[in-house]
Amino acid sequence: MSNSSGRSYGRRRVLVTGGAGFLGSHLIDRLLKRGDEVLCVDNLFTGDKSNIDHLAGNPRFEFMRHDVCFPLFVEVDEIWNLACPASPIHYQHDPVQTTKTSVHGAINMLGLAKRLKVPIFQASTSEIYGDPSIHPQPEEYWGNVNTIGPRSCYDEGKRCAETLFFDYHRQHGLDIKVARIFNTYGPRMHASDGRVVSNFIVQALRGEDITIYGDGSQTRSFCYCEDLIEGFIRFMEAGPDVHGPINLGNPVEFTIRQLAETVLAKIGGRSKLVEEPLPQDDPLQRRPDITKAKQQLDWKPSIELDEGLDRTIAYFRTIVAEKPARIGERHLAGVNA
């Protein structure tokens, strides 16, 4: 058997950076299910070992605490680069480190992929489109990004990472896969990362008022994590001529107010919707054009928001019951991401 770069192997040994995070841990579950050996690398800044505790004792799973800003010398057959804080609260906590993680991390992982001659996947983001002037956003759109704003550490870091990936592809013939991820939700989200789905669910479960930033008319599209991981797998298994960037997300659009009302209706209680000022550079619209994903990957989301929210609420009910004090430790502020 060989991978798309021609490297021969029996069972694949796969590296996942950011593997203890929300999406990374779900990806690892899927990779183990298909029979791979997985090396999970995470510095645990936003990742949580509880996301991978269920893998303890699995002989095909290994965890390494490491920061991708520093070189990594391992032998693997495939690299998935998911390492980077992904919510505004977390990536704005140390913006310089956020940029370093995106840029230095990309350089180090691309260098490793070049040495090993293996395919590499980059978890990019819809944030590279900024506050878009084109709706929905196709991959050809270059974006509308503030280069010096409070979100730019993440936006521009990811944009630079994309540049590096495509330059390594052009200059060194590297097999790259660049996925632009739109809003994704599901179990194992960080309860206090301020993202809109987790924020609303936790506030409603704790009987607090639900905070809407702006008037709630801004829109987002919400993709359930299981659907997104399926898109990841199909992308990585696509032929060596499919490099992206490819949008992965749910094209069904909701206003923030609609989401809040839906969550409140499902959970019940006496929480009220409370409006606060819209943060700087918060996008007013965000919805992917997934034409390329449909055509090149034969992929589209299958889990509707109603079902996905039920699964996510069930997860957070357990978290709130187990750790009622810790849920509110970090201030939930400033985003409807």
DSSP 39: E
The segment with the largest mean pLDDT, out of 184-198, 289-303, 310-324, is 289-303
| Other Cβ atoms within 10 Å of 90 Cβ, number | 20
| Residue 157 backbone dihedrals phi, psi, to 5 degrees | -60, -45
Q: State the Cα–Cα distance between residues 153 and 132, nearest whole angstrom.
A: 18
Mean pLDDT, to the nearest integer, of 180-205? 91
Provide the pLDDT for residue 276.
Answer: 86
- Range in 148-152, 207-211, 215-219, 330-334 with the lowest mean pLDDT: 330-334
Per-residue model confidence as pLDDT tens digits over 230-240: 999 999 999 88
- Range in 82-96, 141-155, 157-171 with the lowest mean pLDDT: 82-96
Relative to beta strand 246-248, strand 176-181 is parallel
Name the 3-class secondary structure at 318: helix
Cβ atoms of 248 and 235 within 8 Å: the answer is yes
Helix (H) or strand (E) holding 184: strand 184-185
Which residue is associated with the tokens 């480190």? 97
What residue spans define the domains of the chain?
A: 13-184+223-248, 186-221+252-284+302-328
Sequence-distant (≥ 6) Cβ neighbours of residue 239 within 8 angstroms: 4
DSSP 92: T
What is the CATH architecture assignment of 186-221+252-284+302-328?
Alpha-Beta Complex (3.90)
Cβ atoms of 315 and 191 within 8 Å: the answer is no
Q: Is residue 150 reached through a cis peptide bond, with omega within 30 degrees of 0 on the bond before it?
A: no
Report the half-sphere exposure of 246 (CA within 13 A, side-chain side): 28
Return the closest-CA partner of residue 122 out of 110, 114, 112, 133. Answer: 110
Q: Which residue has the higher pLDDT, 13 or 10?
A: 13
Active site residue 91: no
Per-residue model confidence as pLDDT tens digits over 247-263: 999 999 999 999 999 99
Cβ atoms of 16 and 40 within 8 Å: the answer is yes
* Confidence category of residue 337, pLDDT binned at 50, 70, 90: low
DSSP 65: E
Mean pLDDT, to the nearest integer, of 65-89? 92
| Per-residue b or e along 173-209, where b marks 16 or more CB atoms closer than 10 Å to that residue's CB | ebbbbbbbbbbbbbbbbbbbbbbbbbbbbbbbbeeee
Name the 3-class secondary structure at 275: strand
* Confidence category of residue 54, pLDDT binned at 50, 70, 90: very high
Cβ atoms of 81 and 105 within 8 Å: the answer is yes
Q: State the Cα–Cα distance between residues 156 and 160, nearest whole angstrom.
A: 6
Cβ atoms of 234 and 121 within 8 Å: the answer is no
| Other Cβ atoms within 10 Å of 2 Cβ, number | 9
Q: Which CATH superfamily, name and number, covers 13-184+223-248?
A: NAD(P)-binding Rossmann-like Domain (3.40.50.720)
Equal CATH topology for 13-184+223-248 and 186-221+252-284+302-328: no
Provide the pLDDT for residue 332.
Answer: 38
DSSP 280: T
Instruction: Quote the radius of gyration of the chain (alpha carbons, Å).
Output: 19
Look up the pTM and report it.
Answer: 0.90
| Options 9, 129, 141, 154, the catalytic residue | 154
Provide the pLDDT for residue 7.
Answer: 42
How big is the chain, counted in residues? 337
Name the 3-class secondary structure at 124: strand
DSSP 144: B
Residue 10, Cβ density class (10 Å: 0-12 exposed, 13-18 middle, ≥19 buried) = exposed
